[in-house]
Amino acid sequence: MGLQDVDHLDNSKFFKNESQRYIRGEIDLDELDEIVSTYYKTKADTEDRTREADQVSTRIAKAIEEDSFTFSVGQLLSIHQTLFWQILGHPGKLRKYNFTKDEWVLNGDSVTYGDYRELEMTLQYDFSQERNFSYKGLTINQVIEHLATFVANLWQIHVFEEGNTRATAVFFIKYLRTLGFDVTNDTFAKNAWYFRNALVRANYTNISKGIYEDKSYLIKFLQNLLNNKHYELNNRELHVSFVNEVNEPKKVTLMKEIIKNNPKIKTDELAKKMGCSVRTIKSILKLYETRGEVRRVNGKRYGYWEVVEK
């Protein structure tokens, strides 16, 4: 039920009562699904969003309970179709238009989502990259950092018109299980809103406002999920105002310290240390050069960075 919070949905009192029967073992998921379906056939005046929350909750539980899984684009589409059949328009279909979403965590700004004309190509690329990636020899922290990047990129493509986060979460849970993690829905359900906001922050950059993509929040979530950590997950800390006031000065200082210690550092190494993409690091460095805070000495290829002390 908790995953519905990513779209500000709440389950009905009827569903909450009936789901307790399933939790106590009195009925199974198929029976719960039938009870809910029958209930809504007689409730024509019920709000569609409440019906959506109830029916999708049962379908999420059923999808996670199933052992079958294929790491493919088709599986992601199939999960969305299963969750939202006869509930949302175009279940299991790629979206056909571009859009923006006002985000509370971004003060009303939006993440830049994938272009609808390139969705399938982008998906296939990301899946091939992950399929060919080797986890052998990595520490658990390195594994978590990589998984944070994978799920953040997958979510940012925003394959579907609606229900993208819920479908991504179910797909990700099932994928993690194939990697040997004993993952349940609990951590997602209890921190669904944090999970979504962490995905937003992992995919948002606004250099003019001093805000850069930051996967640290998503990594904290995954540390709790996969590494038995107990970080406090507070949505307030993800808000860009909080980030600007508390975290940004630390990030500027960190980048300059890294450059001072290793003036010849490459952008990909700097990006890894900062938890940002190479594209973002290049944009930041360009901004700092314009401000006169750093400068490049002896050219791009053989040169080095120098922090300008003021």
The CA-atom distances, in angstroms, between 137 and each of 17, 143, 176, 229 are 47, 10, 18, 21
* Tens-digit pLDDT profile for residues 140-197: 999 999 999 999 999 999 999 999 999 999 999 999 999 999 987 778 888 999 999 9
HSE-CB at 129 with a 13 A cutoff on CA atoms is: 13
276: how many CB neighbours lie within 10 A of its CB? 23
* Tens-digit pLDDT profile for residues 99-137: 999 998 998 999 999 999 999 999 999 999 999 999 999
Query: What does the alpha-carbon distance between residue 271 and residue 254 come to, in Å, rounded to a whole number?
Result: 12
- The pLDDT of residue 139 is above 90: yes
Q: Check residues 42 and 305 and name the one with the higher pLDDT.
A: 305
Query: What does the alpha-carbon distance between residue 150 and residue 154 come to, in Å, rounded to a whole number?
Result: 6
Place of tokens 């394959």: 159
Residue 193 phi, psi (nearest 5): -65, -40
Q: Specify the CATH number for 70-199; select among 3.20.20.450, 1.10.3290.10, 3.40.50.300, 3.40.50.10470.
A: 1.10.3290.10
Kindly list the domain boundaries of the chain, sorted by start residue.
Answer: 1-65, 70-199
Strands in the chain per DSSP E: 294-297, 304-307
DSSP-derived letter for residue 11 is -
Encoding tokens for residue 235? Answer: 């949505």
Query: What does the alpha-carbon distance between residue 176 and residue 307 come to, in Å, rounded to a whole number?
Result: 42
Encoding tokens for residue 11? Answer: 């389950």
Please report the pLDDT score of residue 251 as a whole number.
67
Query: What does the alpha-carbon distance between residue 286 and residue 145 come to, in Å, rounded to a whole number?
Result: 26
Please report the pLDDT score of residue 301 as a whole number.
75
Query: What does the alpha-carbon distance between residue 83 and residue 35 come to, in Å, rounded to a whole number?
Result: 17
Element (H, E) at 196: helix 192-201
- The pLDDT of residue 248 is above 60: no
Q: How confident is residue 250, by pLDDT bands cut at 50, 70 and 90? A: low
